[in-house]
Structure 1
Amino acid sequence: MQLLNLLECADFIPTIASWHFDEWHALFPHKSVEDFAADLRESLQQDELPQTWVLLDAQGEAIGTASLLLSDMTTNQQLSPWLANIYIHPLQRGKGLGKQVVKQVMAEARQRELRKLYLFTEDQQAFYEKLGWELHHREFYENHWVAVMQYDFF
Structure 2
Amino acid sequence: MEIVDLRAVPECIDVLAFWHYQEWSSLYPEETEQDFAAELRNCLQQAAVPTTFIALEHGEPVGSISLLARDMEIDEPWGPWLANFYVRPEFRSGGIGRKLIETLLAHGRANAIAGLYLFKPHTKAYYERLGWQTVRTTEYQGETVDIMYRAL
* TM-score band, normalised by shorter chain: over 0.9
Q: Secondary structure at the match of 2:48?
A: coil
Q: For residue 97 of structure 2, what is the aligned residue in structure 1?
A: 98
Q: Confirm or deny that 1:20 pairs with 2:53.
A: no
Partners of 1:131 and 1:9 lie apart in 2 by: 28
Q: Identity of paired residues, percent?
A: 36
Code of the aligned partner of 1:134 = Q
Which string of whole-angstrom CA distances, capped at 9 and with x for unpartnered residues, describes residues 14-44 of structure 1?
Answer: 1110000000001111111101001100111
With 101-110 and 132-141 compared, the bigger mean Cα shift is at 101-110
Q: Secondary structure at the match of 1:123?
A: coil
Q: Secondary structure at the match of 2:23?
A: helix
Q: For residue 47 of structure 1, what is the aligned residue in structure 2?
A: 47
Q: For residue 134 of structure 1, what is the aligned residue in structure 2?
A: 133
Q: Secondary structure at the match of 2:82?
A: strand
Alignment of 1:54-133 (within 5 A): 54-57=54-57, 59-133=58-132
Code of the aligned partner of 2:106 = A
1:5–1:46: 8 Å Cα contact kept in structure 2? no
Moved beyond 2 Å, runs of 4+: 45-48
Q: For residue 11 of structure 2, what is the aligned residue in structure 1?
A: 11
Q: How many residues align structurally?
A: 152
2:53–2:65: 8 Å Cα contact kept in structure 1? yes
Partners of 2:92 and 2:38 lie apart in 1 by: 26
List gaps (5 residues or longer) in structure 1: none
List gaps (5 residues or longer) in structure 2: none
Q: For residue 151 of structure 1, what is the aligned residue in structure 2?
A: 150
With 70-79 and 21-30 compared, the bigger mean Cα shift is at 70-79
Shift in Å at residue 76 of structure 1?
A: 4.3
Partners of 1:105 and 1:48 lie apart in 2 by: 10
TM-score (norm 1): 0.95
Cα RMSD of the aligned pairs, angstroms, is 1.0
Shift in Å at residue 45 of structure 1?
A: 2.2
Shift in Å at residue 77 of structure 1?
A: 4.7
Which string of whole-angstrom CA distances, capped at 9 and with x for unpartnered residues, describes residues 29-79 of structure 1?
Answer: 11111010011001112333101111101x100000000000000114500
